[in-house]
Amino acid sequence: MGLNKKSVDDINVAGKRVLVRCDFNVPLKNGEITDETRIVAALPTIKKLLADGGKVILCSHLGKVKNGPNEGESLAPVAKRLSEKLGKEVNFVSDYNVTGEAATAAVEAMKEGDVVLLQNTRFRGKEETKNGEEFSKELADLCDVYVCDAFGSSHRAHASVAGVTDVVRAKGGECAVGYLMQKEIDFLGNAVENPVRPFVAILGGAKVADKLNVINNLLEKCDTLIIGGGMAFTFLKAKGYEVGNSLVDLEKIDYCKEMMEKAEKLGKKLLLPVDTTIAAAFPDPIDAEIEVSVVDADKIPADMEGLDIGDKTAELYADAVKSAKTVVWNGPMGVFENPVLAKGTIAVAKALAETDATTIIGGGDSAAAVNQLGFADKMSHISTGGGASLEFLEGKELPGVVAADDKTE
């Protein structure tokens, strides 16, 4: 996958209409934004384009929009918060048609340095999610230049991510990536394609099935692969261990055996838990007090389940990170939402915080864990994607990355 893309530093937007696809898919509670991380992350690109004299038109999706356009999934709260952050009015086009007459009129009235925010792109339903030609054209008609800064959506070939770029390019416009996208390409993309070695990959999370292709791809690229979280038990079961009531994917046992054989054949280290923190049952609610004990990984009682890595494993994993030059981490080591079962995840986060290696957190739950546990500022890069980060780690081409113009030398 060509990763050398035109960025906002390579284009001239003075006096031009710039359509920026952002990721404003923020969590809302009673119409209020509960976490503004994604809005804050979009600001550098927006400010750069404004400073360069662009007319900046922003678009994004929010939520899944299962039952058609509705006020509960409108981008109105985002416009309000953006106006506060930018210190200038963001003209919100509330029209559910997204690109209709109201949008056209708002864009026509723009002066250099103005900001317009279009309504939720998913209000156009399948026209957005199936990369509809007509909607792609309507979006492209509003702009001269297109910038994608929505890494979290870059793995989806939607009209506002992919289709629009074909039309913009056909009329002589440029398609570039914003600073957020650029950072993801620099860190996540290059970590997998050209890592500085030793390269250690840490995979956790509940299900092996979610990470099949990631395990396969990273085994070929990394020097050491560390497995934790719920998916470790399918590997332990594949080794013939008794895992009690722990989470196991019986259909993937052969796959785990294959991966262990592959690691051996390629001369890669594949580290699995040597001990496990166990309890009688999963905590309910998730942060409830819970009684736990630690046993060797091959001695889990039949009526107990593993919910975190044990102390010896935490030490083993932390040790493996010490000599690394590049570390990619995706997925927690245990049920980190529970203070008693967060120890393993904290130990790994701490090891990453203390190493000199380039440390990359691959989005989703591991990003949430690092943020919640207070280690965020110690990491080189925390990915803003969930599914997009995983697909990058799988070595897949992301439509949003492919769609940007390549840099001309």
R_g of the chain computed on alpha carbons: 23
Tokens 């250690």 belong to residue: 200
- 124 counts as catalytic: no
The answer to whether residue 244 is catalytic is no
- Catalytic-role residue among 137, 207, 269, 396: 207
Beta bridge partners of residue 326, listed in sequence order: 199, 358
**For residue 173, which of 149, 135, 147 has the smallest C-alpha distance?**
147
**How far apart are alpha carbons 199 and 150 in whole angstroms?**
27
Sheet holding 381-382, edge to edge: 269-271, 224-227, 199-203, 326-330, 358-361, 381-382
What whole-number distance in Å separates Cα of residue 391 and Cα of residue 398? 7
Provide the token pair at 378. Answer: 């110690």
What is the Cα–Cα distance from 234 to 204, expressed in whole angstroms? Answer: 12
Which amino acid is it at 331?
G
Q: Which of 5, 6, 17, 38 is catalytic?
A: 38
Instruction: Evaluate the omega torsion of the peptide bond into residue 332 and state whether it is cis, within 30 degrees of 0.
Output: no
Q: Are 297 and 234 in contact (CB under 8 A)?
A: no
Q: Which of 163, 244, 364, 385 is catalytic?
A: 364
3 state DSSP class of 92:
strand
The widest CA-to-CA distance across the chain, in whole angstroms, is 71
Annotation marks residue 38 as catalytic: yes
Catalytic residue (one of 85, 387, 395, 396): 387
167 to 17, 122, 145, 268: CA distances (angstroms)? 15, 19, 11, 46
Active-site positions read 38, 207, 364, 387
